[in-house]
C-alpha cells in the first residue's frame, strides 16, 4: 500500500523529524495539534494541520483527523499513543495504514511482567524479579520497584532496605497510574554498577529481521536518559555478537515488524547482560544509529508499513565512526533536574560540520507544564568517540539560548568530564561524579560578559537617542562621574562603570580599555584588553543575554529605582517548579523534623516530594490539593524550632 498522505499523531521535534523524511519521499504531511501548540513550528511546517478538541491521547479525534484529510497512514512518533495497542487496533480497523508493529506485539511488550516471560522463552537472560510485592526476599536488596506498563523512569523507585519498601511501592503505584493508567508494579534486582545497552532491530513482512548494532544510554537522571551514543564504549566484539543475537531471538519470538529496540542492563563488573524491555516504537536516541549506519530509520518504517522489504542486508551494513546525542531539556540541574517553564527568547544553534539539531522549538516558543520539557536533540558524528564528545560539547556551548532554565551547561560538563571521555559511563555516573550543574566562569570571564552587556546597552541607547544624536558617544564638555549600570547574575550584583575616551574607546571599571567595532540589534563586536569578541545578544525588558565561548550568560538589568516587590513570609517554602499539589501530609500546628515529606507535587507526570528543610512547627498551609501552581509560589510556612527550646525538650 503506497503512502501518499501521512498523519503524525505527535508533536514538537518528533513530528518535525518524521515530516523531514516523509517530505523527502514526496509524502503529504498532516499535523494534529492542541491549543497550547497552535503557534509551534511543527504546526506551520505540516502541509495541513488539524486542531484536536482535547489532547494527543484522543484516539477518536486523531482518527477523525486522518479520515478528514484522507490520510493513508498514521505514524505515532514516540511517546503518547505510540505504544498503545488500542490505538493501533483502532487505526487498522479504520482501514488506515499503521506505521508500527502489530497491536498484539505492542500489547505483549507493554506489560513488562509478560515481556520477561517471553524473554525467558526466547532464552534471553533476565534479572531476578517478582510480581508478588511481598516477595522481596527472592529478589534481594537493593531492588527496583518498576511500573508494569510504560517507561521513561516513571513509576520507578530504588529501594535499599525493607523499611523504605512500602512507601516506595505506594509512590510508584500512584505515579504509574497517573502516567499510564495502570498502577501495577513489580520488584526487580537492582545493579548499581551497570550500563544501559540497547539494540536497534528492524523487521519486515517478508520475514527479514536485522539489527543495526547497539547504543549505550547510561548517562541518566531520574532514570531518564540524557546522553546516548553508538557504538557502546564498553562492548567488545564477542559481547556485541551475543547481545545482538539475543535481541534478534527476542524479535523472532515476537515475529517483529517495523523498528523496535531491545533494551538490556549490562553488569559492568561481570560483563553479563539482562533483558529489560522492548520499545515497540522509534526511540528518541535513534539518530545516533542513523549517523553511524547511514540508514534513515523513519524511511525504513514507512517502507515496511507499505509492504516493502528492508532496504539493506545484515552483511552489507557498515558502521562508521562514533555518534553521541544529548537531550536538551528545560529543567534545572541545580534544583534536582526539576522541570522549568518560560518563553524562549533566543534559540540560535550554530550549524557546523558533523552536528545535527532535531528541535521542536524556536524563538518565541513557550515551554509549559503540559508536555515533556525536551527542547531538542543534538547529535554529533565524528571518526572517534573523543572527537564526537568534544564536537557535541562545543555545539552546545555555541547555542545562543535564553528565556528558560536548561540543562545545557550540565550536558557540556558531562561531555568534557575526564571519566566520560575515558568511557566510564555507568548509570550512576551523575551521582558518582557530580558534574557541574551550571556554567562555571572565572571572575575575568564574568566581568567581560558584563562589560559586553553594558557596551551593547550603551550602543542601543545611542542608536535610540533623539537629542544630540550627532555628538560622539559619551562626549562631555566637563568632568563628570562615570556612567554606571547594575547587572544581577546568579544572585550576585555586578556594578559596571565606564567612561568615553578621546580615541572613541571606553575605560571600563577604571581598568579595562574597550573598543566597539560593530553594533547591531542582535550582536556586538568589541575588543576588551586586546581580545576581540563577537557576541550574539538578546534583550528583554528585564534581562540581557550575552553569548560567550562557554555558553550564554544571562543578566537581570537592575532598575535604578527598585519597585516594591512581592513579600514572602519568613519561613515559607516555595514551589521549586510548576506543578499540581497531589497530596498535603501536614496540618497547621504539626511538628516536623528535617527531611519529613510535607507535601507532594506532580509535574510532568512525576512525583516530587517537598521535604522540611529544618525542624519546626507548621504555622500555615497556603495551598490546597489539586491546585495548579507556578514556580516560586509559597506552599506553607514553618516556624523553625529555637535551638534553646529544642535543647530543653531534649
Structural domain contains residue 311? yes
Cell of 46: 505540516
Q: Could you tell me the CATH number of the domain that includes residue 323?
A: 3.30.470.20
Out of 557, 581, 614, a domain closes at 557
Structural domain contains residue 526? yes
pLDDT digits (tens, 9 = 90+) for 336-361: 898 898 999 999 998 777 999 999 99
Q: What is the mean pLDDT of the chain?
A: 91
Structural domain contains residue 588? yes
Average pLDDT, integer, range 247-275: 96
Structural domain contains residue 634? yes
Same domain, 510 and 363: no
Structural domain contains residue 110? no
Same domain, 335 and 207: yes
pLDDT digits (tens, 9 = 90+) for 60-117: 999 999 999 999 999 999 989 999 999 999 999 999 999 999 999 999 999 889 999 9
Q: Can you give the pTM of this predicted structure?
A: 0.85
> Using CA atoms, how far apart are residues 304 and 240, in angstroms rounded to an integer?
26
pLDDT digits (tens, 9 = 90+) for 39-59: 999 999 999 999 999 999 999
Indicate the burial class of 220 (C-beta count within 10 angstroms; 0-12, 13-18, 19 or more).
middle
Indicate the burial class of 644 (C-beta count within 10 angstroms; 0-12, 13-18, 19 or more).
exposed
Percentage of residues of the chain with pLDDT beyond 90 = 75
Q: Could you tell me the CATH number of the domain that includes residue 580?
A: 2.40.50.100
Same domain, 68 and 180: no
- pLDDT above 50 for 147: yes
Average pLDDT, integer, range 277-293: 97
3-class DSSP assignment, residue 258: strand
- pLDDT above 90 for 488: yes
Indicate the burial class of 299 (C-beta count within 10 angstroms; 0-12, 13-18, 19 or more).
middle
| Domain count within the chain | 5
Average pLDDT, integer, range 389-417: 97
Average pLDDT, integer, range 412-424: 97
Structural domain contains residue 563? no
Provide the pLDDT for residue 644: 47
- pLDDT above 60 for 468: no
| Range of the structural domain that residue 158 is part of | 128-189
Same domain, 242 and 342: yes
Same domain, 330 and 270: yes
pLDDT digits (tens, 9 = 90+) for 528-580: 999 999 999 999 988 999 999 999 999 999 887 655 544 556 666 877 767 78
Out of 169, 189, 209, a domain closes at 189
Q: Long-range contact list for 582-585, CB < 8 A, 24+ apart?
A: 582/174, 582/607, 582/625, 582/626, 583/625, 584/621, 584/623, 584/624, 584/625
pLDDT digits (tens, 9 = 90+) for 497-538: 999 998 889 999 999 999 999 999 999 999 999 999 999 999
Percentage of residues of the chain with pLDDT beyond 70 = 93
Angle between helices 408-415 and 385-397 (to 10 degrees): 150
Same domain, 513 and 381: no
Reported confidence tier of residue 474, pLDDT bands at 50, 70, 90: low
Out of 173, 189, 205, a domain closes at 189
Amino acid at each position: 500500500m503506497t503512502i501518499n498522505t501521512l498523519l503524525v499523531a505527535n508533536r514538537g521535534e518528533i513530528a518535525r523529524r518524521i515530516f523531514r523524511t516523509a517530505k523527502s519521499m514526496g509524502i503529504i504531511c498532516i499535523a494534529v495539534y492542541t491549543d497550547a501548540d497552535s503557534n509551534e513550528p511543527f504546526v506551520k511546517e505540516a502541509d495541513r494541520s488539524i486542531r484536536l478538541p482535547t489532547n494527543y491521547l484522543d484516539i477518536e479525534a486523531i482518527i477523525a483527523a486522518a479520515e478528514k484529510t484522507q490520510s493513508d497512514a498514521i505514524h505515532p512518533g514516540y511517546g503518547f499513543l505510540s505504544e498503545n495497542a488500542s490505538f493501533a487496533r483502532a487505526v487498522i480497523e479504520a482501514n488506515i495504514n499503521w506505521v508500527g508493529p502489530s497491536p498484539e506485539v505492542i500489547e505483549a511488550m507493554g506489560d513488562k511482567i509478560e515481556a520477561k516471560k517471553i524473554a525467558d522463552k526466547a532464552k534471553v537472560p533476565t534479572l531476578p524479579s517478582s510480581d508478588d510485592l511481598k516477595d522481596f526476599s527472592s529478589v534481594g536488596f537493593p531492588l527496583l520497584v518498576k511500573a508494569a506498563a510504560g517507561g521513561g523512569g516513571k513509576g520507578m523507585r530504588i529501594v535499599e532496605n525493607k523499611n523504605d519498601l512500602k512507601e516506595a511501592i505506594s509512590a510508584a503505584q500512584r505515579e504509574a497510574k497517573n502516567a499510564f493508567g495502570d498502577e501495577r508494579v513489580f520488584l526487580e534486582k537492582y545493579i548499581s554498577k551497570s550500563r544501559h545497552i540497547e539494540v536497534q532491530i528492524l523487521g519486515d513482512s517478508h520475514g527479514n529481521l536485522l539489527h543495526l548494532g547497539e547504543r549505550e544510554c547510561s548517562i541518566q537522571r531520574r532514570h531518564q536518559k540524557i546522553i546516548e551514543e553508538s557504538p557502546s564504549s564498553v562492548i567488545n566484539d564477542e559481547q556485541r555478537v551475543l547481545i545482538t543475537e539475543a535481541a534478534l531471538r527476542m524479535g523472532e519470538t515476537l515475529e517483529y515488524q517495523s523498528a523496535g529496540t531491545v533494551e538490556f542492563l549490562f553488569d559492568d563488573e561481570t560483563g553479563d547482560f539482562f533483558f529489560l524491555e522492548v520499545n515497540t516504537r522509534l526511540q528518541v536516541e535513534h539518530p545516533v544509529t542513523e549517523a553511524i549506519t547511514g540508514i534513515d530509520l523513519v524511511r525504513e518504517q514507512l517502507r515496511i508499513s507499505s509492504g516493502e522489504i528492508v532496504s539493506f542486508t545484515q552483511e552489507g551494513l557498515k558502521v562508521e565512526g562514533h555518534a553521541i546525542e544529548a537531550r536538551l531539556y528545560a529543567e534545572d540541574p541545580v534544583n534536582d533536574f526539576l522541570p522549568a517553564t518560560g518563553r524562549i527568547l533566543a534559540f540560535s544553534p550554530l550549524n557546523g560540520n558533523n552536528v545535527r539539531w532535531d528541535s521542536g522549538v524556536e524563538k518565541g516558543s513557550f515551554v509549559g507544564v503540559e508536555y515533556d520539557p525536551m527542547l531538542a536533540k543534538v547529535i554529533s558524528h565524528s571518526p572517534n568517540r573523543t572527537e564526537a564528545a568534544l564536537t557535541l560539547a562545543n555545539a552546545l556551548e555555541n547555542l545562543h539560548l535564553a528565556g528558560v532554565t536548561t540543562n545545557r551547561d550540565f550536558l557540556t560538563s558531562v561531555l568534557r568530564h575526564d571519566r566520560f571521555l575515558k568511557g566510564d559511563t555507568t548509570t550512576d555516573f551523575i551521582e558518582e561524579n557530580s558534574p557541574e550543574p551550571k556554567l562555571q566562569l572565572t571572575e575575568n570571564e564574568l566581568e567581560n560578559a558584563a562589560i559586553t552587556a553594558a557596551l551593547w546597552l550603551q550602543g542601543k541607547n545611542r542608536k535610540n537617542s533623539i537629542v544630540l544624536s550627532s555628538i560622539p558617544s559619551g562626549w562631555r564638555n566637563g568632568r563628570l562621574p562615570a556612567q554606571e549600570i547594575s547587572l544581577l547574575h546568579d544572585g550576585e550584583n555586578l556594578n559596571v562603570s565606564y567612561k568615553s575616551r578621546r580615541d572613541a574607546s571606553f575605560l571600563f571599571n577604571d581598568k579595562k580599555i574597550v573598543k566597539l567595532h560593530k553594533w547591531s540589534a542582535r550582536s556586538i563586536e568589541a575588543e576588551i584588553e586586546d581580545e576581540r569578541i563577537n557576541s550574539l545578544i538578546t534583550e528583554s525588558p528585564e534581562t540581557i543575554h550575552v553569548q560567550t565561548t562557554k555558553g550564554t550568560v544571562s543578566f537581570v538589568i537592575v532598575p535604578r529605582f527598585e519597585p516594591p516587590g512581592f513579600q514572602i513570609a519568613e519561613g515559607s517554602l516555595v514551589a521549586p517548579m510548576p506543578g499540581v499539589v497531589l497530596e498535603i501530609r501536614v496540618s497547621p500546628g504539626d511538628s516536623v523534623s528535617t527531611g519529613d515529606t510535607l507535601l507532594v507535587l506532580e509535574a510532568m507526570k512525576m512525583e516530587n516530594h517537598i521535604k522540611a528543610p529544618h525542624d519546626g512547627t507548621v504555622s500555615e498551609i497556603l495551598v490546597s490539593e489539586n491546585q495548579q501552581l507556578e514556580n516560586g509560589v509559597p506552599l506553607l510556612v514553618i516556624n523553625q524550632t529555637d535551638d534553646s527550646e529544642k535543647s530543653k525538650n531534649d
